[in-house]
């Protein structure tokens, strides 16, 4: 092999694999920034995150010592920062809102929203929701239902520990 062939091979390899590497690096950077933003939300409400998870444009974290859950979501130009004090919560559950329609003679179901819903202990308090997916904003999901199921189990376990 001569030097020219090796050079052309290297250029072709960079052109083929370069975009994948750049996308991967950009995704990792966004995840780090989202995790930092979640830490900032926790600090703002005097919390300390013991466990967290980032999924796309949102992050969820729990402070087991202070019984708080923190949520950060950045979609387009809208940033949502929320927290819930679990001492006032009786149950946490996944709320999947979907619609059914008929297409080509078959009944189809389309998920409009996926939320983590916190039900308060008292009737005078309002429910709190962490919106993970909204079809009006994003057309395709990114593992929101499994994410929500895992986190509702963790949160309900923490609620049970508080009630002991």
Domain ranges in the chain are: 3-163
Token digits of residue 114 = 């996926």
Which of 63, 93, 69 shows the shortest CA–CA distance to 81? 69
Provide φ and ψ at 66, rounded to 5°. -100, 0
124: exposed, middle or buried (Cβ count in 10 Å: 0-12, 13-18, 19+): exposed
What's this model's pTM, rounded to 2 decimal places?
0.82
What is the rounded CA–CA span in Å between residue 19 and residue 112?
32
Per-residue pLDDT in tens (0 to 9) along the chain, 164 residues: 577 777 677 677 767 777 777 766 677 778 788 889 999 999 999 999 999 999 988 999 999 999 999 999 988 888 899 999 999 899 999 998 887 777 788 887 778 899 999 999 888 888 999 999 888 777 677 788 899 999 999 999 999 988 76
* Residues 73, 88 contacting (CB under 8 angstroms): no
Secondary-structure breakdown of the chain: helix, strand, coil percentages, each rounded to the nearest 5: 40, 40, 20
Structure confidence at residue 95 (pLDDT)? 92
* Residues 44, 138 contacting (CB under 8 angstroms): no
């Amino acid at each position: 092999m001569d030097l020219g062939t090796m050079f052309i091979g290297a250029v072709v390899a960079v052109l083929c694999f370069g975009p994948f590497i750049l996308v991967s690096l950009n995704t990792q950077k966004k995840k780090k920034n989202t995790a930092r933003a979640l830490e900032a939300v926790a600090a703002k409400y005097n919390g300390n995150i013991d466990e967290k998870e980032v999924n796309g444009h949102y992050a969820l974290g729990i402070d087991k010592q202070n019984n708080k859950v923190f949520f950060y979501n950045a979609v387009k130009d809208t940033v949502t920062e929320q927290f819930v004090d679990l001492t006032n919560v009786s149950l946490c559950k996944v709320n999947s809102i979907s619609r059914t329609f008929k297409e080509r003679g078959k009944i189809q179901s389309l998920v409009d929203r996926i939320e983590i819903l916190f039900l308060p202990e008292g009737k005078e308090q309002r429910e709190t929701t962490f919106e993970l997916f909204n079809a009006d904003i994003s057309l395709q999901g990114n593992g929101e239902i499994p994410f929500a199921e895992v986190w509702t189990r963790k949160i309900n376990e923490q609620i049970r520990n508080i009630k002991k």
